[in-house]
Amino acid sequence: AEMMRAPAAAAREGADAAGAPRPLVIAVTVLTSLDDADLGAVGQQPPVVEQVVRLARLAQSCGLDGVVCSAKELPAIRAACGDSFATIVPGIRPAGGDVADQKRVVTPAQAIADGASFLVVGRPITQASDPRQAALDILASLGAPRARAPP
Protein backbone atom coordinates (compact mmCIF):
# COMPACT_ATOMS: atom_id res chain seq x y z
CA ALA A 1 0.00 0.00 0.00
CA GLU A 2 2.87 2.38 0.75
CA MET A 3 4.09 1.94 -2.84
CA MET A 4 0.78 3.49 -3.93
CA ARG A 5 0.49 6.17 -1.25
CA ALA A 6 3.95 7.63 -1.90
CA PRO A 7 3.44 8.50 -5.59
CA ALA A 8 -0.03 9.90 -4.90
CA ALA A 9 1.39 12.19 -2.20
CA ALA A 10 4.37 13.16 -4.37
CA ALA A 11 2.08 14.05 -7.28
CA ARG A 12 -0.04 16.29 -5.04
CA GLU A 13 2.98 17.97 -3.46
CA GLY A 14 4.84 18.44 -6.73
CA ALA A 15 1.84 19.90 -8.51
CA ASP A 16 1.10 22.23 -5.61
CA ALA A 17 4.72 23.40 -5.47
CA ALA A 18 4.73 24.07 -9.22
CA GLY A 19 1.30 25.69 -9.20
CA ALA A 20 0.24 23.11 -11.76
CA PRO A 21 -2.82 20.91 -12.01
CA ARG A 22 -2.32 17.61 -10.25
CA PRO A 23 -1.88 14.63 -12.58
CA LEU A 24 -4.03 11.58 -12.09
CA VAL A 25 -2.24 8.75 -10.32
CA ILE A 26 -3.53 5.45 -11.65
CA ALA A 27 -2.98 1.79 -10.72
CA VAL A 28 -3.24 -1.23 -12.99
CA THR A 29 -5.63 -4.01 -11.95
CA VAL A 30 -5.76 -7.21 -14.05
CA LEU A 31 -4.54 -7.12 -17.65
CA THR A 32 -7.24 -7.49 -20.30
CA SER A 33 -5.26 -10.37 -21.81
CA LEU A 34 -5.94 -12.46 -18.68
CA ASP A 35 -9.04 -14.38 -17.64
CA ASP A 36 -10.08 -16.53 -14.67
CA ALA A 37 -7.98 -19.49 -15.83
CA ASP A 38 -4.89 -17.30 -16.12
CA LEU A 39 -5.38 -15.95 -12.60
CA GLY A 40 -5.67 -19.48 -11.25
CA ALA A 41 -2.49 -20.50 -13.08
CA VAL A 42 -0.49 -17.83 -11.22
CA GLY A 43 -1.99 -18.67 -7.84
CA GLN A 44 -4.65 -15.96 -7.65
CA GLN A 45 -8.21 -16.84 -6.79
CA PRO A 46 -10.65 -16.18 -9.61
CA PRO A 47 -12.99 -14.65 -10.58
CA VAL A 48 -11.27 -11.72 -12.25
CA VAL A 49 -13.99 -9.28 -11.23
CA GLU A 50 -13.30 -9.90 -7.53
CA GLN A 51 -9.57 -9.33 -7.98
CA VAL A 52 -10.19 -6.15 -9.97
CA VAL A 53 -12.58 -4.73 -7.38
CA ARG A 54 -10.20 -5.64 -4.54
CA LEU A 55 -7.34 -3.86 -6.31
CA ALA A 56 -9.51 -0.84 -7.19
CA ARG A 57 -10.62 -0.46 -3.56
CA LEU A 58 -7.01 -0.74 -2.41
CA ALA A 59 -5.91 1.92 -4.92
CA GLN A 60 -8.71 4.23 -3.84
CA SER A 61 -7.91 3.74 -0.14
CA CYS A 62 -4.30 4.70 -0.88
CA GLY A 63 -5.36 8.00 -2.44
CA LEU A 64 -5.02 7.05 -6.09
CA ASP A 65 -7.36 8.63 -8.60
CA GLY A 66 -8.35 5.54 -10.55
CA VAL A 67 -7.40 2.29 -12.19
CA VAL A 68 -6.73 0.65 -15.53
CA CYS A 69 -9.33 -2.08 -15.95
CA SER A 70 -11.40 -3.96 -18.48
CA ALA A 71 -14.82 -2.55 -19.26
CA LYS A 72 -16.19 -5.93 -18.16
CA GLU A 73 -15.55 -4.86 -14.56
CA LEU A 74 -16.81 -1.27 -14.81
CA PRO A 75 -20.21 -1.82 -13.17
CA ALA A 76 -18.57 -3.55 -10.19
CA ILE A 77 -15.90 -0.84 -9.87
CA ARG A 78 -18.52 1.92 -10.07
CA ALA A 79 -20.54 0.18 -7.34
CA ALA A 80 -17.47 -0.24 -5.12
CA CYS A 81 -15.60 3.01 -5.76
CA GLY A 82 -18.16 5.50 -7.06
CA ASP A 83 -18.51 7.50 -10.24
CA SER A 84 -15.69 9.96 -9.51
CA PHE A 85 -13.05 7.20 -9.45
CA ALA A 86 -11.33 7.27 -12.86
CA THR A 87 -11.36 4.17 -15.04
CA ILE A 88 -8.94 3.85 -17.93
CA VAL A 89 -10.13 1.07 -20.22
CA PRO A 90 -7.92 -0.84 -22.67
CA GLY A 91 -9.10 -3.90 -24.60
CA ILE A 92 -11.30 -1.74 -26.80
CA ARG A 93 -12.28 -3.35 -30.10
CA PRO A 94 -14.68 -2.08 -32.76
CA ALA A 95 -17.68 -4.34 -33.37
CA GLY A 96 -16.49 -7.36 -35.31
CA GLY A 97 -12.83 -6.42 -34.80
CA ASP A 98 -10.04 -8.92 -34.19
CA VAL A 99 -9.59 -9.47 -30.45
CA ALA A 100 -6.01 -10.80 -30.93
CA ASP A 101 -4.59 -11.80 -27.53
CA GLN A 102 -7.21 -9.91 -25.53
CA LYS A 103 -9.70 -11.93 -23.49
CA ARG A 104 -11.89 -9.25 -21.92
CA VAL A 105 -12.85 -6.83 -24.69
CA VAL A 106 -15.79 -4.55 -25.45
CA THR A 107 -16.71 -2.04 -28.12
CA PRO A 108 -15.98 1.66 -27.59
CA ALA A 109 -19.70 2.40 -27.27
CA GLN A 110 -20.21 -0.33 -24.66
CA ALA A 111 -17.26 0.92 -22.59
CA ILE A 112 -18.67 4.45 -22.58
CA ALA A 113 -22.16 3.17 -21.75
CA ASP A 114 -20.73 1.19 -18.83
CA GLY A 115 -19.02 4.30 -17.42
CA ALA A 116 -15.43 4.34 -18.71
CA SER A 117 -13.62 7.59 -17.98
CA PHE A 118 -10.99 7.11 -20.69
CA LEU A 119 -10.56 4.60 -23.53
CA VAL A 120 -7.24 3.13 -24.66
CA VAL A 121 -7.44 2.09 -28.29
CA GLY A 122 -4.22 0.65 -29.67
CA ARG A 123 -4.03 -2.05 -32.30
CA PRO A 124 -7.42 -1.38 -33.91
CA ILE A 125 -5.88 1.93 -35.00
CA THR A 126 -2.13 1.30 -35.16
CA GLN A 127 -2.46 -1.94 -37.11
CA ALA A 128 -5.22 -0.77 -39.45
CA SER A 129 -4.43 -0.36 -43.13
CA ASP A 130 -5.66 3.24 -42.75
CA PRO A 131 -5.09 4.28 -39.11
CA ARG A 132 -6.65 7.71 -39.58
CA GLN A 133 -9.83 6.22 -40.99
CA ALA A 134 -9.91 3.58 -38.25
CA ALA A 135 -9.75 6.33 -35.61
CA LEU A 136 -12.47 8.31 -37.37
CA ASP A 137 -14.67 5.22 -37.57
CA ILE A 138 -14.26 4.62 -33.83
CA LEU A 139 -15.14 8.25 -33.08
CA ALA A 140 -18.18 7.97 -35.35
CA SER A 141 -19.30 4.84 -33.47
CA LEU A 142 -19.40 7.06 -30.38
CA GLY A 143 -21.51 9.69 -32.11
CA ALA A 144 -18.69 12.15 -32.78
CA PRO A 145 -19.17 14.33 -35.84
CA ARG A 146 -17.19 13.24 -38.88
CA ALA A 147 -13.87 15.02 -39.22
CA ARG A 148 -12.80 16.30 -42.59
CA ALA A 149 -9.44 15.60 -44.11
CA PRO A 150 -7.22 18.69 -44.19
CA PRO A 151 -6.96 20.35 -47.62
Residues annotated within the binding site for substrate are 32, 93, 102, 122-123
Q: What is the DSSP string of 83-111?
A: TTSEEEE--B--TT---TT-SS-B-HHHH
Residues making up the binding site: 32, 93, 102, 122-123
* 3-class state of residue 35 by DSSP: coil
Please check whether residue 150 is in contact with residue 120, taking contact to mean a CB–CB distance below 8 angstroms: no
Residues 149 and 121 sit within 8 Å (Cβ to Cβ): no
**Partner residues linked to 92 by β-bridges:** 106
Q: Are 43 and 15 in contact (CB under 8 A)?
A: no
